[in-house]
Structure 1
């Protein structure tokens, strides 16, 4: 039977990681893999995470399963972090998941269960795994314009025109902040226009938010999600703790489902629990317990927020340094968008051939669509990248 299996398409980012590892050049720069790195190229364990883990090791008395939805304290802590008081908690069902990817997968599964004929509108471009998971589940994907490759900003007119094709029962997938892969975000006025369209069309929004705290700040990055949550009857939110808590390998995510009425929450919760049971049964707990410990302890939370702010401002400084260096070398301000984008990523808007040229000539690794991870830079490598970009004629 196994001889009937067909080779699956290779993941481009994982393939890029393999090429990077095999490259013997000491000057190589990894801007492909989507993880935060400090100036030494290390993805650090945050101070508050270490402290929380020590406390858990000392105080935890059992490794028994939590519930199918995970620990209720984790859901509450994450709900408060992301949504604050923007929506009645009685309308919110939630389950812990293996990472943000698990939350996205469960959201799509829930959509298929609720409406097998739903179409999901996704931004062009979007995180490739969105489209891959939807394809695997047999859900129709409709792409809407999002990124203007000339201005390197949001093509909002094109976006709204394409979303005009949505009908009742469809789904629109939105990035809560720090759009991956472009780094270009909607402003709140634009968000309100999207909300008005969603309410007019009667469709279901899904927000994927994986970078809260990496853009303009914890509260600022949650503003759009809170606005949507307070303005629409139903909403799914897939959240990740991988980036802002630095616990990538702990696979810590959360799916929240906001029902129109509190009376529907129990049924929604039961369906979420059922999906967890079918896909992986009980969710992992260690990362969730770390997050809960931090968010419920004022001192640990303050230290976590301080370190997260250091990470955020460090990335903003790298963005500004790169934009300035590119302007100096090129004599043009066409790269000013890099300083305006937010989060770990920017898409510089060039061809796969020129991206390959950067790899072959300069050992600079980025995804073929020209998405680069700003956190893969440091103060020294910025000038190397800038010179390579200008020399390549990008």
Structure 2
């Protein structure tokens, strides 16, 4: 039966993680996967997460199944956090999912059911798993401009030239904050323009919120979502807790639909649950229980919020130190674009061939499209990282 199946394309991030783990050069810098590490290159487990996990263990929690909609108390608590505890126009309903990617797939399946001819528009570039998930859901996709490769800044004209031509069969996938992979920032006027275009042309906004709290703060990072939610009749939202709670492998997420009526929102929730059931039956509960415990316990919520703020401060400091080192070693300010960005990621002005040279000759691991994870840069290696990048890229100004 399986003798003639084709060999699939490999997952670049997983492959590079494995390759880096075998690289024993002492000056290695692994900036591939989006995780936060301390100065000793260790993945950080938040104290709030550790304490919540212990509380749950001491309480003798069981491992029974949750329903196909998931833990609805968790779903409501997460919804309140994502919407910055503000009410929005319309009715929101959702389900717990296996991570943000599970939420995205559930929403795409719902879109496929509602309109098989829908086209999903993604930014160029976008998160590596967006396009494969769209294809797996059986939907068409296209790209809208997002980054100017010459100066690594936001291509505002290119993006809005595309969005203003869309219509009711189109879905625009947007990153709630901290764009992956570019780190480019959409300002509040940009979000307002997107919201008005969606209202006038009829395209559906689909917002992927995976880094809330990694830009300006938990509530501040909800500004774009709130702007759209209070302008349009309908939107779709998938949420991940992998980054802001550090629950990467627990696969904690949710999917929500904003609708003009309660009846429509309830039907969307029911369909999301049924469609997810055929993928994983019911979502994993451990990570969601941890999130729920933290959000419901005032002292844990404050501890978590403080930890998240400190992570944010450290990433911003890394950006500043990286830019200072680039200025010092290059003699120009080309790389100052890194300072105007937000979140964990930025992109180097490098080709796939140059990224491979950085791996082979310098033990510096980033993705082929130039993405690097700033949250994994050891401060003691900044000068080495910068001089190596300059030696390989030497961007002409």
Give the alignment's TM-score, normalised by structure 1: 0.97
Paired residue for 1:188?
188
Paired residue for 1:302?
302
Deviates more, 1:214-223 or 1:250-259: 214-223
Paired residue for 2:145?
145
Deviation at 1:61, TM superposition (A): 4.4
Paired residue for 2:208?
208
Unpaired segments of 5 or more residues in structure 1? Answer: none
Deviation at 1:180, TM superposition (A): 0.2
> 2:78 matched to 1:78?
yes
Please give the residue correspondences for 1:1-394 in structure 2 after superposition, counting only pairs within 5 Å: 1-88=1-88, 91-392=91-392, 393-394=394-395
Deviation at 1:62, TM superposition (A): 2.9
Over residues 15-54 of structure 1, what are the superposed CA-to-partner deviations in whole Å (9 max), with x where a residue is unaligned?
2112212223111100111211111111121111111111
Is contact 1:12-1:367 (8 Å) kept? yes
Is contact 2:206-2:237 (8 Å) kept? yes
Distance in 2 between residues matched to 1:356 and 1:272, nearest whole Å:
41
Deviates more, 1:261-270 or 1:7-16: 261-270
SS of the residue 1:218 aligns to: coil
Unpaired segments of 5 or more residues in structure 2? Answer: none
Distance in 2 between residues matched to 1:55 and 1:342, nearest whole Å:
34
Distance in 2 between residues matched to 1:355 and 1:370, nearest whole Å:
7
Distance in 1 between residues matched to 2:103 and 2:320, nearest whole Å:
33
Q: Count matched residues.
A: 394
Deviation at 1:389, TM superposition (A): 1.6
Distance in 2 between residues matched to 1:340 and 1:89, nearest whole Å:
32
Distance in 2 between residues matched to 1:26 and 1:84, nearest whole Å:
43
Over residues 126-169 of structure 1, what are the superposed CA-to-partner deviations in whole Å (9 max), with x where a residue is unaligned?
01210011112221111000011122121011001112331212
Is contact 1:213-1:309 (8 Å) kept? yes
Two-structure CA RMSD over aligned residues (Å): 1.3
Is contact 1:86-1:227 (8 Å) kept? no
Is contact 1:119-1:142 (8 Å) kept? yes
Deviates more, 1:311-320 or 1:267-276: 267-276
